[in-house]
Amino acid sequence: MALNDSERVSETGYKQELKRSLTFWDLMIYGLVFMVPIAPFGIYGVVAQGSNGMVALAYLIGMVAMIFTALSYATMSEAFPIAGSVYSYAQRGINDSAGFIAGWLILLDYIFVPALLYLVSAAALHDIVPELPLVVWLVLFISINTVINVIGIEFTARANKIIIVLELIVLAIFVAVGVFAIAQGVNGAEFTFKPLYDPNEFSLGLVMGAVSIAVLSFLGFDAIATLAEESKGGRKAVGNAIIVSLLVVGVLFIIQTWVAALIWPDYTSFENADVAFYQIAEIAGGAWLKWLTIIATAIAWGIADALVAQAAISRVLYSMARDRKLPKILSKVHPKFRTPYISTILVAFISLGVTLFFANRIGELASVINFGALSAFLFLHVSVVMYFMGKKKSKNYFKHLVLPVIGFLIIGYVWYSLDSLSKQLGFIWLAVGIIYLIFLKLTKRDTRIDLDG
């Protein structure tokens, strides 16, 4: 008789504490919200210039690249339907120490992502309403999201549905207005395949450099795996949600950037690449569309994306804390809402501190996040190979060897393309983690659990 997911959690040495309430659709929407369907609004100009105008191609390659990592997540989430994401997968796929390092690296991504999102959104709204200090917007965003996440993942899921609908409406408005503008030849616009492939401008090295930026818009699909112990859709629900959400958001990225590129074909003439998309929106529909896209971006990042990011990191902290890799109090579950509320509140305070510290250094904060995510993905692919090919002696070489190796090579290339600052800060974080791991081993404070699952 097949075990249900709660029984499979018990089989791995844990007890089912978190509330199972999320369906496949809840998980998929969670992933979409985390990746932000309108994410290209904020970085369009940089990607367009970096790809010589082939911005749609950059996102297409980025989506294909991330598919291999999504497949590895799906494979491991089916084998281990537990919270912790790559921390739990590396722990069981490689060994306990590798699991800690992978978890430590993904912490670098997850724990700083909410801070980055709050900071970008607060800065945008501060420009619109300069009378309100930046810190007021930060406290407002953080407080709203913390309350929602403590109340429960079901409430978070309901909020996600509302927000994703609003984002898709804004996106649909931009695309509709944009297509009409193209048909009218606004700003010299005409339909062409150049945003997808321009033989006169194409250079593999150049486009891949842009991909290293564009691919970061896809980060977040992996956070679905942190909700494995709150899913009620069966052992394949998490993996299916990861793959479907990645494909859906990838298509949306390609459509919106293609339309934008046609409206402003000369990517070398942006007045300011950081706000290029909003300039394009204004050309297509006027000032109202410009402000609509700006406000939508601020809300999508500061509320929606930060909301799910906070939920994700609290689950990783919870998972590591119950293994005593972090203070045990972080694994405390709220008696009524059945959420890891101590971890959630801690993330709120960390986010406030980080936003204040990096207020004028957003670039440095983003660099740290990129290093953590991509490094953790490398551990993930190794985990698939070592667990299935090594421990389970799998004969499915394509699924358990070829696909994760391809994923490792792709992520390795993107990781290699990171700037020197991100690597410097990332290795400092890694060194601190290794020292802390040694401390745990010497003091025997980490819990010994059955890792054969």
CA dist., res. 287 & res. 27, Å (int): 35
Render each residue's pLDDT in the chain as its tens digit; 453 residues: 455 555 555 555 556 566 777 888 888 988 898 888 998 887 788 888 888 899 999 899 889 888 999 999 999 988 888 766 788 899 999 999 999 999 899 888 877 878 888 887 787 677 678 888 888 988 998 998 899 888 876 777 777 788 889 999 999 999 999 999 999 999 888 999 999 998 888 887 777 777 777 776 787 787 787 777 778 866 788 889 999 999 999 999 999 999 999 999 998 888 877 778 989 999 999 999 999 998 898 888 777 788 888 887 888 888 888 888 888 899 998 888 888 899 999 999 998 998 888 877 766 776 677 788 889 999 999 999 999 999 999 999 999 999 999 999 988 988 887 778 888 889 999 999 999 999 988 887 665 444 444
Residue 439 burial by Cβ neighbours in a 10 Å radius (0-12, 13-18, 19+): exposed
Nearest to 37 by CA among 246, 210, 227, 208: 246
The residue with tokens 């934008």 is 260
Question: Tens digit of pLDDT for each residue in 36-86?
Answer: 899 888 778 888 888 889 999 989 988 988 899 999 999 998 888 876 678
> What b-and-e string marks burial along 398-412, b requiring 16 or more CB atoms within 10 Å of the CB?
eebeebbebbbebbe
How much is the pLDDT for 83? Answer: 65
22 φ/ψ angles, rounded to the nearest 5 degrees: -95, 130
Helix (H) or strand (E) holding 242: helix 237-263
How much is the pLDDT for 107? Answer: 83
Q: What letter does residue 239 receive in the DSSP assignment?
A: H
Note whether 358 and 365 are within 8 A (CB): yes
Average pLDDT, the chain: 85
User: Which tokens sit at 162?
Assistant: 């509302």
Note whether 339 and 153 are within 8 A (CB): yes
How much is the pLDDT for 1? Answer: 45
**Amino acid letter at 221?**
F
CA dist., res. 395 & res. 373, Å (int): 30
The residue with tokens 């616009």 is 189
222 φ/ψ angles, rounded to the nearest 5 degrees: -65, -25
**Amino acid letter at 106?**
I
How much is the pLDDT for 229? Answer: 77
Start-to-end C-alpha separation, the chain: 18
The residue with tokens 């992502």 is 113
CA dist., res. 270 & res. 77, Å (int): 43
CA dist., res. 103 & res. 151, Å (int): 25
